[in-house]
Amino acid sequence: MTENAAEILRTRFVESRNAVLLSVSDGQDFTYGQIYANARALADRWRAEGLAKGDTVAFLLPNCPGYLTSYLACIIGGYVANPIVPELAETSVQFISELAKPKLLLREPPELDADLAAPSDADIRFESEDDKPFLNIFTSGTTGNPKGICHSLGGIIHNAASFARLSGMGTDTRLYHILPMAYMAGFQNTMLCPLLAGGTIVLGPVFSPASAVTFWQRPVSARANFLTLTPTIASALSRLGARNIEASRKAASLLVSVQCTAGQLTHGIRQQFLEVFGIPLQDCYGVTELGGPFTLQSREDAAIEDNVGRPLPELEISILSGTASEGELWIKTPAIMLGYLDREGLDPPLLSDGFVATGDIATFENGKLTITGRLKDMIIKGGINIAPRALENVISDLPEVEDVAVIGVDHEFWGEVIVACVTARDSNAKSALKLAIQNHCAKNLASIHRPDVTLIIEDFPRAMNGKIQKHALRDRVLAELSAQPPA
C-alpha cells in the first residue's frame, strides 16, 4: 500500500530532526525540528484565530524564510495554501480572492523563532489528507484573469518525492534557492523536493539583473551543490561568466546538478552554459496542472542531447501521432490536479481514459522525451507545419544572439509567414546580425523553414516567471511591420 503523504512528511521530520533544513543569508541555520516547531506554532495560531480545517490561507509575500513555514503550517493544520505573486496588480489579487475565498490573507512574513524547541516524535503530525485540496497555484494573469489550479496533498507530495529521487537528491543535497516561491518551481522543485530528500535549502535572493553580478558569492560560501535555473537566468549568468571563464568554472565546481525549468531551453543557451561553466544544464519538463516537474535529463545526457530527459516512473506517456513519430503529448499521472478553480468550486480536468492533452508536440524514443513545439504556436505556411522551436534552436546557435522567439503572422497567400524576433548581444551590430542570421539559416534550414522577416528588438515581453509572452510579442510585431504583409 502506498504510504500516505502525511506519514511521508512525518517520517522525514522525525528522521531529520537535527539536520539543517533552511540556511538563510544572515548565516543562521534552522533544523527540521526548528522549522516544524515554527510551522506548528503558526498553524495553532491560525486555529486560535478561528480558522478551521479546509479553510484557505493566501500568502501575498516576498520570498522569505517564513514562506516555507507557511506552506508547512497549512499541511499541519489541514488548511489550503494559496500563494499569490506579490507583483500582481491589486485587481488580480482581488480576482484571486474572489475565487479562492481565503479566510486569511498574509501580507507580512511570519518571523522564525530559533528558540522554539522541536516537539517529541509523537507530537510531529500533519492533518491534511491525501485526496483533499491542499494547494492553489495561480497563473500570473498575463493573458487575462489568473487561472487557479488546485492540487491535493497526495499528488504534490508523491510527485515531489519521485522527482527528488530522479534528481539524485539526498541528505547531502544543498540546493541554492533563487526562484519565486509563489510559483510551482519555487515551491515544488526547490523547496519540497530537497525537503523530502532530507537535504538543505540554501536561501538566496530571487534572481534579478542586480543580483547577477554577485550571484556566486552565496552558493559558494554556503557550499551549495544543487541549482535550479530558468533559461533566462542561465543565459544571463553565461553572459557574465564568459568574462572570466576560469573564475566561473571555479565558482560552479561544487555543483553536481544544474536543472533548468519553466521555459524553453534552446541549444544555444545549453552550449553557452556548458562552455562557460563546464557543467551541463539538465532540462526539466513539467506542467503545473500535472503536478509540476516530471522529466529530467541525466547530467551525462544533458552534455550531448537536446531532449528533456526521462519521465518519472509513475507516468504513462502517449503520442497522438500527427506524423509517424511526432504528435501531441498526452500524459496520465497520479499527480494530476483536482481541477481549475471557478466560482462554483472546481472544474475537473478533461480526461480520455485517464490521459490529459498537454498541448505540446513531442517525440518519445528510447525512453526519452523531446518537446518539439506547441500546438498553438505551430506555424502553417503554404500548408506546411513549421515548429518555431526548431528554428529558434538554429538561430540561438549564433553567438551574437542573446535570445530569440519565432512567431507566425497572417499572410494572404501563404496563410502564415515566419517572423524571427531576436535580441542582440551588441545593440550596435543589428545589420550585421540580420545578415548572419540569414546566412546561418540558409546553411541549416530548408527554404520553407527560414524566417521571412527578422526583427532585431530591444527586449521581449515576459511573464513574471521569465517566459516570453508570444501573444504580446505578436501584437508588437504586427504594430512594427509595414501595412503591406511580407512577400
Give pLDDT tens digits for 184-227: 999 999 999 999 999 999 999 999 888 899 999 999 999 999 99
Determine the Cα–Cα distance for residues 255 and 251; give it in Å rounded to an integer.
9
> 129-169 pLDDT, tens per residue?
999 999 999 976 444 678 899 999 999 999 999 999 999 99
Task: Check pLDDT > 80 for residue 39.
Answer: yes
Determine the Cα–Cα distance for residues 5 and 458; give it in Å rounded to an integer.
47
Task: Check pLDDT > 70 for residue 290.
Answer: yes
- The angle at the Cα of 114, spanning 108 to 120, to the nearest 5 degrees, equals 110
- Give the model's pLDDT for residue 437: 94
Whether 197 and 171 have beta carbons less than 8 Å apart is answered as: yes
- Give the model's pLDDT for residue 487: 46
Show Cβ contacts of residue 281 under 8 Å, excluding neighbours closer than 6 positions. Answer: 229, 234, 258, 259, 260, 265, 269, 270, 273, 274, 302
Determine the Cα–Cα distance for residues 227 and 293; give it in Å rounded to an integer.
15
> 247-286 pLDDT, tens per residue?
999 999 999 999 999 888 889 899 999 999 999 999 999 9
| Residue 452 or residue 345, greater confidence | 452
What is the Cα 126 distance to its own chain's centre? 27
Whether 65 and 22 have beta carbons less than 8 Å apart is answered as: yes
Whether 109 and 62 have beta carbons less than 8 Å apart is answered as: yes
> How far apart, in Å, are the Cα atoms of 4 and each of 100, 193, 446?
26, 16, 53
| Residue 408 or residue 43, greater confidence | 43
Give the position of cell 480576482. Answer: 95
Q: What is the mean pLDDT of residues 375-390?
A: 82
Going by pLDDT thresholds of 50, 70 and 90, the confidence category of residue 78 is very high
Determine the Cα–Cα distance for residues 462 and 230; give it in Å rounded to an integer.
13
The overall average pLDDT reported for the chain is: 91
The three-class DSSP label of residue 385 is: strand
